[in-house]
């Protein structure tokens, strides 16, 4: 399928895991894709030098984001799709709430919630003016399940869900849909940073009994960004093996 031929897509945090799989999915379906990540993205030859723009940058810095989006516009044209994928937990700094530190809370909220708001703020006015666009925000099953040692992460991701619902209502009359996806256990580098006891508990509470591949989440994101999903907006969609229900 070439559902995204002629479309311009931005993926934040696209160097690894779900972001990287989604970049490849959009490229495979004909899109031109711009990626921003603190880490280097795989060589353009691997991704498709003609249709993939990769930039190293910090999504917590508004000036960096403004330069990046301006560069995308000058290179590919107007942005049709934004996947706000960048984010992470405190990883090795995660603690039970009573032992947690405010500096970690601030980092987690900054990289997850505020980066999503910043990027959306940059692209939404042009999407609204053109009368079309897709925004997909990365939330997490941790926000739905209330995982222990992840209170800051759950709070930030639940904030993304609320933000998604609010701007979906605002932008719906202008042909722009906004949705959130909530992955559960997925094979990414981030899982290597989760304390083993947490990961064991998550897997034990997942009814299907296995961990998903990043490509499975990429497929859901691609669907939500397609014309087929024009009637879906403001929704929070869990892709978690039945671990929690909405």
Could you give the residue numbers annotated as active site?
153
Buried b (16+ CB within 10 A) or exposed e, 28-45: ebebbbbbbbeeebbeee
CA distance 32 to 52: 6
| Chain center to CA of 241 | 19
What is the side-by-side order of every strand in the sheet holding 236-239?
A: 52-56, 32-37, 8-12, 81-84, 133-138, 176-183, 236-239
Helices 151-171 and 102-109: crossing angle in degrees, nearest 10, is 30
């Amino acid at each position: 399928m070439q559902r995204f031929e002629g479309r311009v897509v931005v993926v934040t945090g696209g160097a690894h895991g779900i972001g990287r799989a989604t970049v490849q999915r959009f490229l495979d379906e004909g899109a031109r894709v711009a990626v921003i990540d603190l880490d280097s993205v795989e060589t353009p030859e691997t991704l498709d030098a003609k249709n993939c723009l990769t930039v190293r940058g910090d999504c917590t810095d508004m000036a960096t984001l403004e330069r990046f989006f301006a560069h995308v516009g000058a290179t590919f044209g107007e942005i049709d799709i934004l996947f706000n994928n960048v984010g992470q937990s405190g990883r090795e700094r995660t603690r039970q709430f009573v032992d947690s530190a405010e500096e970690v809370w601030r980092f987690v909220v900054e990289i997850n919630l505020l980066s999503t708001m910043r990027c959306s703020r940059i692209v939404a006015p042009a999407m609204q003016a053109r009368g079309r666009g897709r925004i997909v925000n990365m939330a997490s099953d941790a926000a739905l399940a209330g995982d222990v040692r992840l209170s800051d992460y759950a709070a930030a991701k639940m904030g993304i869900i609320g933000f998604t619902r609010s701007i979906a209502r605002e932008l719906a009359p202008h042909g722009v849909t906004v949705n959130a996806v909530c992955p559960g256990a997925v094979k990414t580098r981030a899982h290597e940073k989760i304390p083993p006891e947490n990961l064991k508990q998550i897997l034990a509470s997942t009814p299907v009994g296995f961990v998903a591949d990043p490509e499975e989440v990429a497929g859901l994101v691609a669907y939500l960004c397609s014309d087929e999903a024009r009637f879906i907006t403001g929704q929070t969609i869990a892709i978690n093996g039945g671990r929690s229900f909405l």
